[in-house]
Amino acid sequence: MGALQSLPDEPEYRDLSEKTGFSFEQIGILHKRFKQLSHNEDTLRRDDLNTIPDLACNPIRTQIIEAFFDKRNFHQNGEGTVQEISFEEFLVVMSHFRPPALNMTEEQRENIRREKLRFLFNMHDTDNDGTITLEEYRHVVEELLSRSGALGKETAKGIADAAMLEVASISVGHMEPDEFYEGITFEHFLKILKDIEIETRMNIRFLNMDTTNLCNDWRQERPQRQRFEWLERKT
Amino acid sequence: MGLVVEGTALGAPQGSHPEPWVVGSNHSQAGGGHGSSISGIQIVTFKWHHVEAPYLIALWILVAGVSKMVVELNHSLTSVIPESALLICIGWILGGIIYGADKVQTFSLTPTVFFFYLLPQVILDAGYFMPNKLFFSNMGAILVYAVIGTCWNAATVGLSLWGCWLGGAMGDIDIGLLQFLLFGSLIAAVDPVAVIAVFEEVHVNEVLFIMVFGESLLNDGVTVVLFNVFDAFVSLGGAEIDAVEIIKGIISFFVVAFGGSLVGIIFALLISLLTRCTKNIQIIEPGFIFVLGYLSYLTAEMLSLSAILSIVFCGICCQKYINANMDERSVTTVRYVMKVIANGSETIIFVFLGISAIDPAIWVWNTGFILLTLLFIFVFRFIGVFLLTWILNKYRLVPLEFIDQVVMSYGGLRGAVAYGLVAMLDENKFNEKNLMVSTTLIVVYFTVMLQGITMKPLVTWLKVKRAAVTELTLAEKIQNRTFDHMLVAIEDISGQIGHNYMRDKWHNFEERWLCWFLMKPSARKSRDYIFNIFHQLNLKDAISYVKEGERRGSLAFVRNETKADVDFNKKFRANFSEIMPDIMADNMGPDHVPLSSILQDIVPSVCLDMHELDLKMRESEDFNAHHLLQQHLYRGRKQHRHRYSRSHLETNKDENEVQEIFERTMRSRLESFKSAKMGVAPAKKIQTKHQKKDKPQKMPNGNSTDKSKNHPYGDKDFEFSEGDSASGGEAAGGSFPMRAYRAEAGIVNPAFMAEMDPMDNMQQMQQIPHAALLPQTLTSFDP
C-alpha cells in the first residue's frame, strides 16, 4: 500500500483543524485512512464502509454507517441523507468522538454534551421527525440484540417497550388515561441520559502517530495481495 | 512470604500459662483424671483446658461481633467516625481490661493468625465483588500506582529516614540503611482492609475508588518482593550485596507478581470447571468456592509468590462463570457467606489491632523516628501521586482531576498488613524491632483514625464527585451497550487499534472459547446482557405486583381506575378504528373487551385490565377467580409470599411451573380461537404460528431463570460491603406506580408477545378482526 498520494497542503488542514478541533497530525492520519477506504477517490460511499471486515460483526453497523451519510451530522443544518461524503464531512462526523480538552468551561462542556447526544439522537431518529418513536426504538434494540441470535424480535420488542415506558414515566410523569406518548424528543433524551457522562464516555483516542499502516496492512491488505499472487502464478 | 511461625494460635495465651495440652498435676481441681489421684466419681467436672483453645477462639469471635454491634448502636456516631476507628478504640478498652487482669499481654494479633486465617477471606471478598469492567479499563493506571508508586514510597521514606538518622534527628538507635529500607517498604504499602473500611462510608465516584482500591490490592506484589529482598539483604549483611543480587531482586519481582496472578487464574479456571459439573450437589456448591479460593492463597504462599495477588485474581476471574453456572440459591449463599466472613474478619482485625497495642513491653518511644515517619509517608504519598498522575494524564482519555488526586493521596491508608509484616521481623536481626512495631502501630492508628474521620468532611468540602446512587434505567443500559458497539465501530472505521478494539476482540474470544469451556450449556444460552437486565426488571415488577396486591389485602388484585393508558403509538389505534369500527364502543357484552384496554397490550402484558375483568368475572358464573390467579401469579402460596424482598431477589426457579402456566394459557387461547368460528383456515394459521414461535421461546425463557447476578460498578449497581440494598429499595419504590402497570410483565412475557405484533397480524386481522384482537384477553374468558 505504498501508492498513497502526497498529503494536501497545510492551509486546507488549517481550516479543517479549526472547524473540527483535530490536530494537524490527526487530520493527516484520518486523511490517509479516508483515501484508503475510498480507494483514493475524493468521496466515500456506503459500500466502502461496508467493506471494512471488522465492522461486519458489529450489531449496529448499519446505524453507524448511516450516521456518516446523515446530513444532520454535518453541522450545516441540512437534512436527509447523501450518497457520498467528502473528507471534510467525514472529519466532521469523526469530530463528534473527540475527547474534550482538559480545561473547559462548564458551558463548553455542556455544548459538547449536547452535540454528542444530538449525534446519538440522530442515529436513532431515522425518519428525522424530531422524536424517537416506539418503532425506531424497537429497531435499535433489535439490532443490539441481533448478535445473540436466539432471543429474537419479540424479546427486543418487550425490552424496547419497557424502556419507552420508563422514559415516559421519567419525562412526563403521570399521564391521563387518554394521553399518549408520541416518542422520545431530544429534550427527553437529554433528560434521561444526563447521568451518563457522555463527554467522557463517547470518545476515542485519535492518535498523533501513524499506526494505521501497521494495523491496516495486516487487516486488509493481505487477502488482496494473496489473491493477486495467485492470479499472477496462474498466468 | 517466609513466615516465622510464632507457635501460638490466636486464642492461646502467651507466657504465663503452661501449655494447654499438658494437664499438669498442679491443677488439682480439674483435668479429667490425668495423673492425679481420683477420690471418687465426679458427677460434673470443669474441664477448662479440654476446650481452652477453641473456646477462646469462639469467644473472641463473639466479642468482636458484639463490639461491632455496640459500635453500630448509634448511627450518628458511625457516620462521623468510621467503624474501624471505633473498633480499634474498643480493642484498646478490651486490651486494657485484660492487661489489668493479667498484668501481661495475653492476646495479640499474631502474624500467623492474621495472614492465614483473617486476611484471605477479606481479599477473596474484594476480588469476588470486584467490578471487572471498571477494574480492567483502569488497569494501566492502577498498575502504575501500585508498582511505581509503592517503590517510590518505599525508597523515599526509607532513604529520608536514613538521612535523618545520619543527621542525628533520632538519637542513638542501632539501625542501618538496609533496615531503614525494609521499614520503608513495609510501611509504604496502602492497605486494602483499611481502604475498604474507610471508603465504604464515603461513597466517592467509581473511578477514584477503583484507583485506590485496585492499588491497595495490587501493591502486595511489590511489598512482598521488597520485604523479602531487604530481609535477605539484612541477613546477608551489607557487604554481600552486589549487582547480581540486585538483579535477582528485580527478577523476583516479576516472578512473584506474575506467578501469583497465574496461580490465581489457574484456580479460577478450576473453580469454574468444577461448578460446571456440580449440578447434582448443589447444596455444597458454595463450599468449593471458599475452599479453592483459600487453596489458591496457600498455594501461592507455598511457592513464595504473592498470595494476595493470587486470591484476588482468583476472585476476579471466576466471578462471571460461577455466577452463571451455579444455581441461584448457591450464588446467593456464596455472596452472603463471603460478606459475613469478610466483615467478621475485618472486625476481628481491627479489634485486635487495638488490643495489640496494650502491651508496655513492645513500646519504644522515639519522637524523632515516629514523627518523621508520619511526616514522610504523608508528604511522599502526595508527591508520588501527583507526579504519577501528571505523567498518566498525558495518556489517559479521561484525565484525573486535581481533586481526585488529593483524595487519592489522602486515601493512602496503612493498616494491618503493615503491622503483620513488622511483627514478623526477627528480633535478633533487627535490634530495633520494638521501635518499628510501635511506629507502625502509631502510623496505622493515625491513618485509620485521623484520616478516616476526616475523609468524609474532606470529600464533602472538596466537592468530590460521588457515586451515583440511583439504579440505571433500562434506557441508559441500552445506551451503554450502544456506546460500546459504537466506539468499536468508529475505531474500526478510523482504522486505529484502540482500547475499544482490544476490548471487543477479547470479548469475542471470551464468548467463543472461554464461555464454551467454562460455562454450563444452559447458562450459555441466557448470557445476553440486555436480556438479563430486562428479565430482572420483569421479576422486580412481578414482585412489586404481588406486594401491592398483598398490601391491598385482596387476592383478586383489584387495581385502581387511573391506570396510565400509555399508548405509544396513536397509529395503531387509528388503524384499528378504521378496520373495526364496531368494536370501539365500550359497552359490549361480557365477552368483549374495550379496545382501549387491548391497546394497553402494546406494552407487553399477560392480562391487562384486571378491574374490568373482575367485574366481568362476577357477571359470568363460570369464571373462576382461582383460575385467573393461577394463570397470572405463579406463587400465590403462603410460604413463598413473604420471602420476596427488595434486598435479595429470589427468582422463580420452578421451570416446570412456568411451563405449566404457559401450557395452560396456550390451551385456553387455542380453545378461544376455535370458539371464534371465524373460519378454520386463518385461525389455524395463527395457532400454528403461535405454537411454532412460542415453543422455541420456552427454552430460553425457562432456563433463563438462573442468570448472572452481577454487580458491575460500571453499571452503577455497585454494592459496598455493607450492602446498601436499602437505597435500591427506595429507588424502586419511587418508580413503583409506573411499574405496577407493567407488573404483569412476568416471566412468561416474551412468549405472549409472540402474537402481539399488530403489523404482522394486520392481514389476518382484516379477515378475523374479532378473534385476532382478543389473543390475551380471552385467556381469562375461558368458558
**DSSP H helical segments within B495-552, as ranges?**
499-509, 515-518, 521-525, 529-552
The partner residue sitting opposite B494, judged by closest CB among A30, A135, A178, is A30
Q: Which residue of A has its CA nearest to B511?
A: A148
**DSSP H helical segments within B145-191, as ranges?**
150-166, 177-188
Look at B569 and A133 and tell me if their CB atoms are within 8 Å.
yes
Nearest to B185 by CA among B142, B217, B218, B229: B229
Asked if A108 is an interface residue toward chain B (Cβ–Cβ < 8 A), one would say: no
- The answer to whether residue B231 scores a pLDDT higher than 60 is yes
For residues B155 and B144, what is the distance between their CA atoms, to the nearest angstrom? 16
B46 dihedral zone (left: phi>0; alpha: psi -120 to 50; beta): beta
Which residue has better confidence, B264 or B563? B264
For residues B465 and B275, what is the distance between their CA atoms, to the nearest angstrom? 39
Query: Which residues from chain B sit within 8 angstroms of residue A91, using beta carbons?
Result: none
Report pTM: 0.68
What are phi and psi for residue B510, nearest 5 degrees?
-65, -40
- CA A34 to chain centroid, in Å, comes to 15
For residues B153 and B733, what is the distance between their CA atoms, to the nearest angstrom? 48
Quote the cell numbers at residue A123. 442515529
Q: What is the pLDDT of residue A167?
A: 77
The partner residue sitting opposite A181, judged by closest CB among B499, B568, B750, is B568
For residues B14 and B477, what is the distance between their CA atoms, to the nearest angstrom? 57
Q: How many CB pairs under 8 A join A and B?
A: 208
Q: Within a 10 A sphere around the Cβ of B230, how many other Cβ atoms?
A: 22
For residues B19 and B591, what is the distance between their CA atoms, to the nearest angstrom? 86
Look at A94 and B494 and tell me if their CB atoms are within 8 Å.
yes
Look at B745 and A52 and tell me if their CB atoms are within 8 Å.
no
Pick the range with the lowest mean pLDDT from B56-65, B117-126, B533-542, B662-671: B662-671
Q: Within a 10 A sphere around the Cβ of B238, how many other Cβ atoms?
A: 10
Look at B495 and A205 and tell me if their CB atoms are within 8 Å.
no
Pick the range with the lowest mean pLDDT from B42-56, B273-287, B486-500: B486-500
Q: Using pLDDT thresholds of 50, 70 and 90, give the confidence band for residue A34.
A: confident
Q: Using pLDDT thresholds of 50, 70 and 90, give the confidence band for residue B659.
A: low
Look at A159 and B534 and tell me if their CB atoms are within 8 Å.
yes
What is the full DSSP assignment across A55-105? GGG-TTHHHHHHHHTBGGGGTSS--SB-SEE-HHHHHHHHHTTPPPPSS--
Q: What is the mean pLDDT of residues B645-651?
A: 47
Beta carbons of B86 and B351 less than 8 angstroms apart: no
Q: Which of B37-46, B556-565, B636-645 has the highest mean pLDDT?
A: B37-46
Query: Which residues from chain B sit within 8 angstroms of residue A169, using beta carbons?
Result: 564, 735, 737-738
- The answer to whether residue B696 scores a pLDDT higher than 50 is no
Average pLDDT, chain B: 71
Pick the range with the lowest mean pLDDT from B357-361, B427-431, B464-468, B594-598: B594-598
Would you say how long chain B is, in residues? 783
With vertex at residue B80, the alpha carbon angle to CA B78 and CA B85, rounded to the nearest 5 degrees, is: 65
Asked if A55 is an interface residue toward chain B (Cβ–Cβ < 8 A), one would say: yes
Mutation target to probe the A interface, by most A beta carbons within 10 A, among B134, B465, B479 is B479
Would you say how long chain A is, in residues? 235
Look at B534 and A150 and tell me if their CB atoms are within 8 Å.
no
Q: b/e string for B715-751 if b means 16 or more Cβ within 10 A? A: bbbbbbbeeeeeebeeebeebbebbbbbbbbbbbbbb
For residues B736 and B537, what is the distance between their CA atoms, to the nearest angstrom? 12
Which residue has better confidence, B571 or B256? B256
Look at B470 and A170 and tell me if their CB atoms are within 8 Å.
no
Question: Which residues 636-695 of B have a C-beta within 8 angstroms of A?
Answer: 693
What are the strands, taking DSSP E only, across chain A?
44-45, 84-85, 131-132, 184-185
Q: What tens digit of pLDDT does each residue of A161-176 get?
A: 777 777 777 777 666 6
- The answer to whether residue B655 scores a pLDDT higher than 60 is no
Q: How far is A234 from chain B (nearest CA, A)?
A: 33
CA atoms in the 13 A half-sphere facing the CB of B78: 16
Q: How far is A228 from chain B (nearest CA, A)?
A: 23
Beta carbons of B531 and A145 less than 8 angstroms apart: yes
What is the full DSSP assignment across B445-468? HIIIIIIHHHHHHHHHHHTPPBPP
Tell how strand A84-85 and strand A184-185 pair up. unpaired
Which residue has better confidence, B616 or B60? B60
Nearest to B607 by CA among B673, B545, B530: B545
For residues B576 and B552, what is the distance between their CA atoms, to the nearest angstrom? 35
Which residue has better confidence, B29 or A23? A23
Q: How far is A30 from chain B (nearest CA, A)?
A: 7
The partner residue sitting opposite A163, judged by closest CB among B393, B475, B569, is B475
Asked if A201 is an interface residue toward chain B (Cβ–Cβ < 8 A), one would say: yes
Q: How far is B398 from chain A (nearest CA, A)?
A: 6
Look at B568 and A161 and tell me if their CB atoms are within 8 Å.
yes
- The answer to whether residue B395 scores a pLDDT higher than 90 is no
A58: amino acid identity, one letter: N
Question: Which residues 167-196 of A have a C-beta within 8 angstroms of B?
Answer: 167-170, 174-183, 192-193, 195-196
Nearest to B238 by CA among B174, B162, B177: B177
Q: Within a 10 A sphere around the Cβ of B563, how many other Cβ atoms?
A: 17
Residues 6+ apart with CB under 8 A from B687: B670, B673
Q: Is A180 helix (H, G, I), strand (E, B) or coil?
A: strand
Q: Using pLDDT thresholds of 50, 70 and 90, give the confidence band for residue B694.
A: very low
Q: What tens digit of pLDDT does each residue of B207-216 get?
A: 889 999 999 9
The partner residue sitting opposite B492, judged by closest CB among A54, A97, A202, is A54
B24: amino acid identity, one letter: G
Distances, alpha carbon A199 to alpha carbons B144, B269, B666, in Å: 25, 38, 49
Q: What is the pLDDT of residue B662?
A: 64
Look at B570 and A182 and tell me if their CB atoms are within 8 Å.
yes
Look at B476 and A99 and tell me if their CB atoms are within 8 Å.
no
Distances, alpha carbon A78 to alpha carbons A72, A75, A112, A134, in Å: 5, 8, 20, 25
Query: Which residues from chain A sit within 8 angstroms of residue B533, using beta carbons?
Result: 159
Q: What is the pLDDT of residue B142?
A: 93
Beta carbons of B328 and B532 less than 8 angstroms apart: no
Which residue has better confidence, B24 or B538? B538
Query: Which residues from chain B sit within 8 angstroms of residue A178, using beta carbons?
Result: 565
Give the CA dihedral B311, B312, B318, B322, nearest 10 degrees.
Answer: 80
Beta carbons of B171 and B366 less than 8 angstroms apart: yes
The partner residue sitting opposite A164, judged by closest CB among B494, B568, B700, is B568
Pick the range with the lowest mean pLDDT from B46-60, B68-82, B569-583: B569-583
Beta carbons of B449 and A137 less than 8 angstroms apart: no
Quote the cell numbers at residue B671. 380453545
Q: b/e string for B422-432 if b means 16 or more Cβ within 10 A? A: bbbbeeeebeb
Q: What is the pLDDT of residue A178?
A: 56
Nearest to B134 by CA among B709, B716, B707, B532: B716
Q: Within a 10 A sphere around the Cβ of B291, how many other Cβ atoms?
A: 11
Query: Which residues from chain A sit within 8 angstroms of residue B602, using beta carbons?
Result: 134, 161
Query: Which residues from chain A sit within 8 angstroms of residue B700, using beta carbons?
Result: 150-151
A112: amino acid identity, one letter: I
Q: How far is B754 from chain A (nearest CA, A)?
A: 6
Nearest to B359 by CA among B103, B602, B594, B653: B103
Mutation target to probe the B interface, by most B beta carbons within 10 A, among A37, A89, A102, A166 is A166
Beta carbons of B768 and B679 less than 8 angstroms apart: yes
Query: Bridge-partner residues for A44, per DSSP?
Result: A85
Query: Bridge-partner residues for B567, per DSSP?
Result: A180
End-to-end CA, chain B: 76
What are phi and psi for residue B570, nearest 5 degrees?
-55, -25
Asked if A85 is an interface residue toward chain B (Cβ–Cβ < 8 A), one would say: no
Q: Which residue of B has its CA nearest to A95?
A: B490
Q: What tens digit of pLDDT does each residue of B157-199 get?
A: 999 999 998 888 777 777 888 889 999 999 988 999 999 888 8
Q: Using pLDDT thresholds of 50, 70 and 90, give the confidence band for residue A151.
A: low
Which residue has better confidence, B271 or B19? B271
